[in-house]
């Protein structure tokens, strides 16, 4: 099967491409990525000579390019291309609308014209909004209540995907996952930021009281779920993927410091993020019952493996921190990176 993977140079996309090519199932991958600040071809350098892998630099908002790629034997699309960091969406919401809404529409319509057999729209649990401490996890039939420009733009993309199934019968499937962690994650997200800051003995900025709760899923579990959805997911359906691993941000922070043998004095409480959702939790019983997926990674062991990866890949994250991330971090958070 020939698959167009968009946003494949990013964190989840690059892990997904590697997962498919190492599966031995004969996948051929075209990776379309704009290479914004979070896209990094180094994530896939070991695959550059594979006959089953092709990289194309470009934007899903470029209709002519998307049309050309889809007209060259592509059978399925998995769309990771997105502006994805909540903090950035507070300061640059227009970029999120451009890619996460308009770009999705261009991609969907081109895929419809070329009769693509399966379109997987990769989304987030943040479109559901926030949960109270005792409320059950998000189910696929929950109403959407996004609370940030990022999650609103992702919800809009999901609804566009739904409309293409309802209007045209186009075989779209939407997936919504909880917080990912693992190798190659850009160090603006909580776990890689805190690991790399701790390795440099720099402050770990904890929002508010640190008691916001997230469900964590290892990126490899997510990739395995996406492959199953690509192969077995029913068109028009939504599938939640979670890690069954709720933790407060404070618990994650202390775990990272404990693994690294660093003092808790590195924690620095900072003003809370505007519109910061209190709790996310995922009910993934639908995909478990229909397709047979469930997470395999234990969070404690997965976190230890992830911390070890960043410890061993210091050159990788130092090169990133010396680039575009520095400007944004220093401008909006007053952090100083070296």
The CATH number of the domain holding residue 56 is: 3.40.50.720
Q: Identify the active-site residue in 83, 125, 158, 221.
A: 125
Tell me the pTM: 0.93
Tell me whether residue 319 is in a domain. no
Q: Identify the active-site residue in 53, 150, 181, 325.
A: 150
Tell me whether residue 227 is in a domain. yes
Q: Identify the active-site residue in 33, 126, 227, 246.
A: 126
Q: What is the pLDDT along the chain (338 residues), one digit of tens a residue?
A: 999 999 999 999 999 999 999 999 999 999 999 998 888 888 998 888 899 999 999 999 999 999 999 999 999 999 999 998 888 899 999 999 999 999 999 999 999 999 999 999 999 999 999 999 999 999 999 999 999 999 999 999 999 999 999 999 999 999 999 999 999 999 889 999 999 999 999 999 999 999 999 999 999 999 999 999 999 999 999 999 999 999 999 999 999 999 999 999 999 999 988 889 899 999 999 999 999 999 999 999 999 999 999 999 999 999 887 765 556 555 654 444 43
How deeply is 136 buried, as exposed, middle or buried, from its count of CB atoms within 10 A (0-12, 13-18, 19+)? exposed
Tell me whether residue 335 is in a domain. no
CA distances from residue 295 to 172, 177, 215, 298 in whole angstroms, order as listed: 23, 12, 12, 8
CA distances from residue 252 to 134, 191, 195, 263, 274 in whole angstroms, order as listed: 20, 8, 10, 14, 21
Q: What is the pLDDT of residue 327?
A: 62
Tell me whether residue 265 is in a domain. no
Tell me whether residue 195 is in a domain. no
Residue range(s) defining the domain that contains residue 38: 2-181+217-241
Return the bridge partners of 216, or none.
179
Tell me whether residue 90 is in a domain. yes
Rounded distance, CA 204 to CA 257, Å?
10
CA dihedral 293, 119, 86, 241 (to 10 degrees): -10
In contact, 27 and 20? CB cutoff 8 Å: yes
Told to judge if 215 belongs to the known catalytic residues of this protein, a careful annotator would answer: no
Tell me whether residue 16 is in a domain. yes
The single-letter DSSP state of residue 131 is: -
Which ranges constitute the DSSP H helices of 243-323?
249-260, 285-290, 299-312, 314-321
Q: Which of 296, 318, 125 is nearest to 219 (CA)?
A: 296
Tell me whether residue 20 is in a domain. yes
Q: How many domains does the chain have?
A: 1
Told to judge if 59 belongs to the known catalytic residues of this protein, a careful annotator would answer: no
What are the backbone dihedrals phi and psi of residue 14, each rounded to the nearest 5 degrees, phi first? -70, -40
Told to judge if 272 belongs to the known catalytic residues of this protein, a careful annotator would answer: no
Q: What is the pLDDT of residue 317?
A: 92
């Amino acid at each position: 099967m020939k698959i167009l993977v968009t946003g494949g140079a990013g964190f989840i996309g690059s892990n997904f491409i590697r997962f498919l090519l190492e599966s031995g199932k004969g996948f051929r991958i075209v990776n379309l990525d704009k290479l914004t600040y979070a896209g990094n071809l180094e994530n896939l350098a070991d695959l550059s000579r594979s006959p089953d892998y092709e990289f194309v630099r470009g934007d899903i908002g470029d209709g002519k390019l998307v049309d050309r790629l889809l007209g060259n034997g592509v059978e399925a699309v998995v769309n990771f291309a997105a502006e994805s960091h909540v903090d950035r969406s507070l300061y640059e919401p227009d970029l999120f609308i451009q890619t996460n809404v308009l770009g999705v529409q261009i991609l969907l319509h081109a895929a419809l014209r070329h009769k693509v057999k399966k379109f997987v729209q990769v989304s987030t649990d943040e479109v559901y909004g926030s949960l109270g401490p005792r409320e059950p996890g998000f189910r696929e039939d929950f109403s959407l209540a996004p609370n940030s420009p990022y999650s609103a733009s992702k919800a809009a993309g999901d609804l566009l995907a739904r409309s293409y199934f309802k209007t045209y019968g186009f075989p779209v499937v939407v997936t919504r996952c909880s917080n990912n962690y693992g190798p190659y994650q850009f160090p603006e997200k909580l776990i890689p930021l805190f690991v790399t800051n701790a390795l440099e003995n720099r402050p770990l900025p904890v929002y508010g009281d640190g008691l916001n709760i997230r469900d964590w899923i290892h990126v490899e579990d997510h990739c395995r779920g996406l492959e199953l959805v690509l192969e077995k997911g029913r068109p028009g359906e939504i599938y939640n993927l979670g890690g069954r691993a709720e933790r407060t941000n404070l618990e994650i922070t202390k775990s990272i410091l404990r693994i690294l043998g660093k003092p808790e004095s590195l924690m620095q409480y900072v003003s809370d993020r505007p519109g910061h959702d209190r709790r996310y939790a995922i009910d993934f019983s639908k995909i478990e019952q229909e397709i047979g997926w469930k997470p395999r990674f234990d969070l404690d062991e997965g976190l230890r493996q992830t911390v070890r990866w960043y410890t061993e890949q210091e050159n990788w994250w130092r090169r990133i921190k010396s680039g575009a991330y520095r400007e944004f971090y220093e401008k909006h958070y007053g952090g100083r990176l070296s």
